[in-house]
Amino acid sequence: MSDILSQNEIDNLLQALSSGEVDAEEIKASSEKQVKNYDFSRPSKFSKEHLRTLEIIFEHYGRLLSTNLPVYLRKNIQVEVMNSEAVTYMEFSNSLSNPVLLGIVNFEPLEGNIIVEMASKLGYAIVDRMLGGEGEPLDKVREFSEIELLIIERIMTACVQLLREPWTNALDVHPRLERIETNSQFAQIISPSEMIAIVTISIKIGDVEGFMNICLPYITLEPVMDKLNTKFWYSNMQERVEMEYADTIESLIAKAIVPVKAILGKSVISVNDFSGLQVGDIIRLNTKVNQELDVYVGDIKKFTALPGATGEDYAVRITSVIREEQE
């Protein structure tokens, strides 16, 4: 009923039309459905659900980067996932300007490679920090030297190894940095028309801020595409958290200290005898010398044992375990 206008609303609308306050053509244009062009030559293979799940994965990855990179750079690192999108590899490649830092990563057991692209100014800042500087970028862009590339390779290798944990819910991957390219023309890992997902991460090292782009080809992720949905991801995360929680509790229980006592025997005496007990007096117990003793864990009778000694200490030797059903 809310879509039906009242008589007053109709009168006001007619009055606005007659006075020129409202243009009928504008109303017609605004009510028309907006149609988005679809390019059949490049069908979308990554849905919004896929891209959102990839963002979740790399948000986890970002937290690992911000925790682990300061160990190498001795500087606080701020990491934030900016966005994700699906484009062709040609579009990604054309957006790069040399010199670039392209880490070609073997994503076993998945077939094919992924690319980790790091902004060159981040590379200069990393080299400066690793060599004892403040982490300032260069005023003028230049090619990286072999020594600088070796330093960057060490950091990028550490970054690549951190990719394993965030992907655990989908697959046990073993990422390995194969090489670093500084020219985008030498990093043609797939056909230019192939679809890829790009996850853009902002990294801030001190005052230097730049982007890291993770290029994920569809042909590489195809075997796990059905697992790239938030419902599957969160359910698996919940199961994993519950298992880790159970393991933690079990570990804590295993380390818990519990009192164990062996009861030598019991006796009943009068209050008069009790009040007259002296050092050296003997109390007769209700157990024989060769009779098994009851061993308690806390307040629960758990074992039977025979008395004895080990070295200079008294001891008991367990002879049987009392199960709950035997009690």
pLDDT digits (tens, 9 = 90+) for 190-243: 888 888 999 999 999 888 888 999 999 999 888 888 888 777 666 666 656 566
Cβ distance 263 to 293 under 8 Å?
Answer: yes
Q: What is the CA radius of gyration of the chain?
A: 36
Query: Is pLDDT at 317 greater than 80 in this prediction?
Result: yes
Please, which residues bridge with residue 108 across strands? Answer: 174
Task: Please report, for the chain, the start and end positions of each structural domain, with discontinuous segments joined by +.
Answer: 48-244, 260-326
Consecutive H or E run containing 306: strand 300-310
Between 300 and 1, name the one with better pLDDT. Answer: 300
pLDDT digits (tens, 9 = 90+) for 100-129: 899 999 998 888 899 999 988 899 889 988
If pLDDT is split at 50, 70 and 90, which confidence band does 256 have?
A: confident
Q: For domain 260-326, give the CATH superfamily.
A: SpoA-like (2.30.330.10)
Torsion region of 280: left, alpha or beta (phi above 0 gives left; psi -120 to 50 gives alpha)? left
Query: In the prediction, which pLDDT does 136 show?
Result: 76
pLDDT digits (tens, 9 = 90+) for 271-312: 888 888 888 888 888 888 788 888 888 888 888 888 888 888
Tell me which of 3.40.50.300, 1.20.1050.10, 3.40.1550.10, 1.10.150.530 is the CATH number of domain 48-244. Answer: 3.40.1550.10
Nearest CA to 61 among 116, 109, 113, 100? 116
113 SS3 class: strand
Tokens encoding 51: 């891209």
Query: Is pLDDT at 166 greater than 50 in this prediction?
Result: yes
Q: How does DSSP classify residue 137?
A: P
Cβ distance 297 to 288 under 8 Å?
Answer: no
Residue percentage of the chain with pLDDT more than 90: 19
If pLDDT is split at 50, 70 and 90, which confidence band does 38 have?
A: low
If pLDDT is split at 50, 70 and 90, which confidence band does 18 have?
A: confident
**What is the chain's mean pLDDT, rounded?**
82
Kindly state the average pLDDT of the residues 31-36: 59
Nearest CA to 187 among 104, 107, 117? 104
Q: How far apart are CA 229 and CA 272, in angstroms?
A: 80
Nearest CA to 144 among 183, 184, 91? 183
Query: In the prediction, which pLDDT does 1 show?
Result: 42
Q: Is the peptide bond before 259 cis (omega within 30 degrees of 0)?
A: no
Tokens encoding 63: 């937290």
Contacts of 214 (CB under 8 A, 6+ apart): 58, 114, 115, 116, 117, 198, 199, 201
Q: How far apart are CA 27 and CA 23, in angstroms?
A: 7
